[in-house]
Structure 1
């Protein structure tokens, strides 16, 4: 893994929001966020246990202590977003863990969550990458609901149910910045996806709960508020997000079409091939000058996971039509 310089770990995004590079996989691949308002703080997503020093370091940079944190919000309970939640909560004496109601049981007892990740990545890889996923006491867990509002020292944070990528996903609307903390429900867009004039954003269909109808509905709900920015876990803040909505919706349809056309014993290989081709084509349409090898190096993980997720969706007996 490339080593990031200390100055690269934190990015001030304005409005009291800091993006924290968690160090997962490579620099600027996985972000957590710290929101500070009137001397109080909230985290959004955590990365893995290895990110704990960076998460606490971001707080110290703001002149705050662990006791000043009111909330730790996880967008959903996939381990690249919530793997350090239990460890971080042990450091935050006054915080509540805020999680979608479908995800709350997995934060209280993460054994099924770890088992599910092991089914995708393998036991050894999960142990190496995520370490011991710590449980959170039930009395410190706050489950959200669609339309719920939290108050961070007078700063409202609104929650909506946001399925499509996962059924345990919510979106967090920050009125102060007119931005959504999207986790994975508004796709992924690494800094390398940007050209001089445009940027590629791609949906993420990571196993096991991809639902194209729900994903498109969620994207529509996010755009209804005419947001000024989206705070993506993978990676960072994108401005003028309305310009990316049509791009995401078109790609959901294109990915579903690829999945429906795949078949036979080599279905997974076919999915990988055609997804890679789709992303490279869309990337070049947006002005990228990278060659195929450079593109593939950046998207190989996502191609594999998206292919797996589409395969699970295809095999679901009652899958929704796109």
Structure 2
């Protein structure tokens, strides 16, 4: 099937169909006839996942793990529906996200606050709860087996406090969700990939992101598998770019004046200028206008996240004598 890419080492990527082609990948790891699925995208992605499993010769009963890097709905919105189709699978999710998989009410309310109810439903459909007895807390350092293959959980805050990355001992690679940024294939130049941080609302933490990036780089990975969009190599270079761009985006936010809409507009304009300069610096394949159009929603969410970060770090107002 055209939506399936096989990289070797038992690692495969499915185009989730979320938003547009090559926006969000779902990864499947196959070992000894068993499978793990990392991130699920939305409810609309479930038929693609089941079709990919069939193409790989994996029965639904042979899926042992569904692992969520975090519970933002472009990564986890289809988890409940998918678990209904995988009778033997257990769900691995950060302890902070566990209760939201059991009862997704507050998760849905938070999503509606960002997108509005109609757009949220269009994007994600109806969220399905996961029975508590099928969920395993993905604590830092936890190791789980997929056949003879070891997968290790790394607690990686920065994009969100409930974010994990998964170390694959066979591929010697991380599945990074959003912690290692996004890398759209449209920007590639002569096979050279580029990366952009994701500072989306509501839990962006630049210090945490820097630490998480360095913690992964210390494992000397051969590749990173990003949700947006899949495999990148040359990870030391990309990690250095991420560090630089996180600091540059934070500086833009700190320099913004005022608050509310005016501040948001100023931050967004600053992020757009960063991307213009980065496109020129790195010789991205897309022109300036096409670059900004492709990143339009990402930059809007990044600006929102930087605004929330600014507000959360303000000192509390005095309560009086």
Query: TM-score, normalised to structure 2's length?
Result: 0.95
CA distance in 1, matches of 2:271, 2:219: 31
Q: In the alignment, is residue 28 of structure 1 matched against residue 13 of structure 2? A: no
CA distance in 2, matches of 1:54, 1:280: 35
Q: Which residue number corresponds to residue 79 of structure 2?
A: 85
CA contact (8 A) 2:4 2:12 kept: yes
Count of matched residue positions in the alignment of Structure 1 and Structure 2:
313
Shift of 1:289: 4.8
Q: In the alignment, is residue 310 of structure 1 matched against residue 302 of structure 2? A: no
CA deviation profile, 1:15-66 (whole Å, cap 9, x unmatched)? 1111000011110000000111001011000110111111001110111110
Q: In the alignment, is residue 242 of structure 1 matched against residue 211 of structure 2? A: no
Q: Which residue number corresponds to residue 116 of structure 2?
A: 122
Q: Which residue number corresponds to residue 194 of structure 1?
A: 188
2:255 counterpart (239, 247, 261): 261
CA deviation profile, 1:105-158 (whole Å, cap 9, x unmatched)? 111111111111111111111111111010000000000111110011110000
- Runs (4+) of structure 1 exceeding 4 A deviation are none
CA contact (8 A) 1:196 1:287 kept: no
CA distance in 2, matches of 1:13, 1:180: 14
CA distance in 2, matches of 1:288, 1:218: 26
Q: Which residue number corresponds to residue 182 of structure 1?
A: 176
Give the 3 Å change call, closer, same or farther, for CA 182–43 of structure 1 in structure 2: same
Q: In the alignment, is residue 111 of structure 1 matched against residue 111 of structure 2? A: no
Q: In the alignment, is residue 277 of structure 1 matched against residue 267 of structure 2? A: no
CA distance in 2, matches of 1:283, 1:104: 39
CA distance in 2, matches of 1:192, 1:90: 35
Shift of 1:318: 5.6
Q: Which residue number corresponds to residue 206 of structure 2?
A: 212
CA distance in 2, matches of 1:280, 1:57: 39
Q: In the alignment, is residue 64 of structure 1 matched against residue 58 of structure 2? A: yes
5+ residue gaps, structure 1: 1-5
Give the 3 Å change call, closer, same or farther, for CA 197–55 of structure 1 in structure 2: closer
CA deviation profile, 1:189-241 (whole Å, cap 9, x unmatched)? 01012112633201101100000000000000010000000000000100121
* Partner SS for 1:19: strand
Q: In the alignment, is residue 97 of structure 1 matched against residue 96 of structure 2? A: no
CA deviation profile, 1:153-174 (whole Å, cap 9, x unmatched)? 1100001100000000011000
1:286 counterpart (279, 282, 285): 282
Q: Which residue number corresponds to residue 147 of structure 1?
A: 141
Q: Calculate the aligned-residue CA RMSD, in Å.
A: 1.1
CA distance in 1, matches of 2:33, 2:312: 48
Q: Which residue number corresponds to residue 3 of structure 1?
A: none
CA distance in 2, matches of 1:197, 1:11: 16
